[in-house]
Each structure stands twice: as structure tokens, then as C-alpha cells.
């Protein structure tokens, strides 16, 4: 494959911004850099009007600013840690699920370390493009709520391919690069003094671009090479999560079946403090996915920013034994994870029974939880291991 030509091809449909950038992306990528130092220098404490005031004993109070060291996510003491928590559903659909009361439950009853805030892009009536100001303000609000409770917060640009097929949707991250820059600039400028924010810049790249070509790693990589330095003009310290091909599966979900983690691991980004995402749904994704995750985590930093105990649609029966195999692996290798999803959606993957949020609860305890919600709450509530020395 002609790497430089492939990268230019992936930029061609991204509009004038990407086309201009293509002039600087004609060279083949440099050889992979040496692994990052295992014990990075502790970042300076962030101060200012938007600095997080985490409650004593909370995950953020203990771990402070996170950095990527080698293949691990490390706390302010340079010690590898594992975060465990929940993802919202699309925040436009279920605002009643993300109240002060429900987030108190997530932080104090579930004892979650991290909240992933998922902002869809093109979805009719509930995507960022429908009302950028309103949705950005909703994300601002949820960042403040998570911060006040001492949780880390992942700001998820929920790229999925949920738009009009006639315009090839947003499965190619370059499609809405201008909007992504506007959104992340707004978020990063306001919250740059917080030490608990993580940026996820492309949820699940997949499918084909406007030319009918696979949204491959070169497409995603070039997008990350443009967007991450842009974000870091405003927030230099926050870790960034980068989506991987074919629905964040390292390519394992490709229709051809010919891709795996080597597509990314052999050609990593030459940017510090980043991790690569992997998503799985245990009733659909079996041993071959688990093996790919295990191999990838030995070579590159991996964050499982979304998973479910059901099928790939978040529906159907729960496969708890297979999910437990994933959890065991992630615990052993200190791979952080976030479960989909903290809402009362009608699907089996939602934590709460349908109508719970709309009725105002109850959300504490287990009486309003679905089977998956009861199971995952129990897994999150087990004690954390956050070493400080």
C-alpha cells in the first residue's frame, strides 16, 4: 500500500480544512518512537477559577492529574491505575438521568471513578450539529457535576455513523473536523485548569468514507495528528483517547476479517499522553476479540471506553461469563474501562428500568436496576487499587 497516497486520499473528502492539511502529510510516518518513560515527572498542580475541587478521598483527590506512562494510565505519583465507571447514553435523549441526585448515586453508591459524557454528532434532534451552543453547555454542566463529586470525566465526541447515509454520515472522523475543533476548543478553554478531564476524539470510526473506501487507521491517525495538537493549545496536560478502526475494535470487526491490532500497534501515533480505545459487547465479541485486546495492551496504551454485557447493539441476553473474562484481563493488565450505559433506555444494556429517570427515581440501591445494571454496579463497587507510593 502506498501510505502517503492513502493518507491523502482519506483527507480528500474532509472539506477545505483537511485538503489544506494534506499538503503536510505526504511523507511516510516515522519509525515508532521508544516507549515513554515508566515514571513521568509529576505535572504541576492546576490552579484557576475552573480547577477541580475534588472531595477528600475521591478518585481525583487521590490520583490527581493522570498521564500515560509506557502502556499504562498513571496517577500523579507515576503509579499505574485502573479507572472503572459508566458512560452516559446520548446526553440529548436522557437528560433526566444525569441529575445531581443520580450522579451522587454514581459517585457515592456505585463508587464510580469516571463518567463518560457521550455527545452524539449528527443524530436527528439530539446531535451536536443541531444546536452546538446548547449541547456544549450540557457537556460543560456534566463536567462540573462530575468534578464536584471527584470523578474523572471523559468528553466523548460520539462519532458513530449515525447521520444520513446519502452524505456518508459521520463514520469518517474527517467529516466534521471543523465542528470537532469548535467543540473541543470550547471545552478545553473552559476546563483547562481541571485535572480530571480526558478527551475522546472519535468514538467508533467505521465503514467507508465519501469515496467508498474503508475508514482505516491512516485516516484516523491523520485526524488525530491534526486535532490533538489543536486541543493541546488550550489544555496541554489532559490524556487523549483515540478511536481505532471498525467500531473501535482495532480492526477485528472489519467486514473482510483481515485486520487486527497490528494495524495500529505497528504504526502508532508519535504524540505523548494518548491511549487507543477498544470496545466490545460480550454476547457478540468472543475469544478472538479478547485475544486482540490482550495482545494490543502489551504493546500500546489501551482504554476500554465502552463495553456491554449484551450483543453489539446493547440488546438481548447478557453474557456475564464472557464479560467476566474481559474484566479479569483488564484487571490484570490495569486497563481502564467504562460500561455502556447509565440511562433508562429500553434496551437491556441500560442500567435502569425504563421510565426510572423520567419518574425521578428511585436511583439508589438496586430496585430500579435491570439485570445488567445490578451486575455492573457490583463490579464497580469493589475496592479500587490506587497506589501512592
CA distances for 260 relative to 248, 270, 289, 380, angstroms? 11, 20, 9, 29
Q: What DSSP element (H or E) covers 90? A: strand 84-90
| Catalytic status, residue 204 | yes
Which one of the listed residues 122, 200, 263, 306 is annotated catalytic? Answer: 306
Q: How far apart are CA 212 and CA 253, in angstroms?
A: 18
Cis peptide leading into 341, omega within 30 of 0?
Answer: yes
End-to-end CA gap in the chain? 47
Question: Which residues make Cβ contacts (< 8 Å) with residue 126, sequence separation at least 6?
Answer: 90, 92, 93, 120
Which one of the listed residues 122, 204, 261, 263 is annotated catalytic? Answer: 204
Q: Do the beta carbons of residue 296 and residue 261 sit within 8 Å?
A: yes
Q: What are the beta bridge partners of residue 119?
A: 157
- DSSP secondary structure letter of residue 165: G
Cell of 178: 471543523
Q: How far apart are CA 230 and CA 184, in angstroms?
A: 9
Neighbours of 29 (CB within 10 A): 17
The CA dihedral of 240, 95, 335, 37, to the nearest 10 degrees, is 20
Q: Do the beta carbons of residue 117 and residue 91 sit within 8 Å?
A: yes
| Catalytic status, residue 189 | no
CA distances for 230 relative to 200, 224, 227, angstroms? 14, 10, 5
Q: How far apart are CA 323 and CA 378, in angstroms?
A: 13
Which residues participate in catalysis according to the annotation?
204, 306
Amino acid at each position: 500500500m502506498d501510505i502517503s497516497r492513502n493518507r491523502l486520499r482519506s483527507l480528500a473528502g474532509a472539506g477545505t480544512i483537511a485538503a489544506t492539511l494534506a499538503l503536510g502529510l505526504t511523507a511516510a510516518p516515522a519509525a515508532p518512537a521508544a516507549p515513554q518513560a515508566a515514571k513521568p515527572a509529576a505535572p504541576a498542580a492546576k490552579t484557576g477559577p475552573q480547577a477541580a475541587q475534588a472531595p477528600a478521598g475521591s478518585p481525583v483527590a487521590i490520583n490527581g492529574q493522570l498521564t500515560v506512562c509506557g502502556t499504562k494510565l498513571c496517577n500523579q505519583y507515576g503509579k499505574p491505575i485502573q479507572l472503572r465507571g459508566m458512560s452516559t447514553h446520548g446526553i440529548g435523549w436522557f437528560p433526566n438521568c444525569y441529575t445531581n441526585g443520580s450522579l451522587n448515586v454514581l459517585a457515592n453508591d456505585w463508587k464510580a471513578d469516571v463518567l463518560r459524557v457521550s455527545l452524539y454528532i449528527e443524530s436527528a434532534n439530539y446531535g451536536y450539529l443541531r444546536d452546538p451552543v446548547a449541547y456544549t453547555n450540557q457537556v460543560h454542566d456534566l463536567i462540573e457535576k462530575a468534578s464536584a463529586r471527584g470523578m474523572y470525566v471523559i468528553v466523548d465526541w460520539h462519532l458513530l455513523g449515525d447521520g444520513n447515509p446519502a452524505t456518508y454520515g459521520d463514520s469518517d472522523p474527517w467529516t466534521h473536523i471543523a465542528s470537532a475543533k469548535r467543540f473541543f476548543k470550547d471545552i478545553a478553554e473552559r476546563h483547562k485548569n481541571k485535572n480530571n478531564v480526558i478527551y475522546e476524539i472519535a468514538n467508533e470510526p467505521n465503514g467507508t468514507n465519501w469515496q467508498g473506501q474503508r475508514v482505516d487507521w491512516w485516516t484516523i491517525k491523520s485526524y488525530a495528528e491534526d486535532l490533538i495538537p489543536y486541543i493541546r493549545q488550550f489544555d496541554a496536560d489532559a490524556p487523549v483517547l483515540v478511536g481505532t478502526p471498525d467500531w473501535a475494535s482495532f480492526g477485528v470487526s472489519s467486514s473482510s476479517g483481515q485486520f487486527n491490532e497490528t494495524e495500529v500497534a505497528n504504526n502508532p501515533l508519535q504524540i505523548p499522553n494518548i491511549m487507543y480505545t477498544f470496545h466490545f459487547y460480550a454476547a457478540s465479541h468472543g475469544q478472538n476479540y479478547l485475544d486482540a485486546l490482550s495482545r494490543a495492551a502489551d504493546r500500546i496504551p489501551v482504554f476500554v471506553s465502552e463495553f456491554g454485557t449484551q450483543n453489539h447493539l446493547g440488546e438481548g441476553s447478557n453474557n456475564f461469563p464472557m464479560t467476566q473474562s474481559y474484566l479479569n484481563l483488564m484487571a490484570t493488565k490495569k486497563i481502564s474501562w467504562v460500561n455502556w450505559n447509565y440511562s433508562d433506555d429500553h434496551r437491556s444494556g441500560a442500567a435502569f428500568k425504563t421510565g426510572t429517570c423520567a419518574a425521578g427515581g428511585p436511583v439508589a440501591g438496586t430496585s430500579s436496576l435491570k439485570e445488567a445494571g445490578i451486575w455492573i454496579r457490583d463490579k464497580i463497587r469493589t475496592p479500587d487499587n490506587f497506589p501512592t507510593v
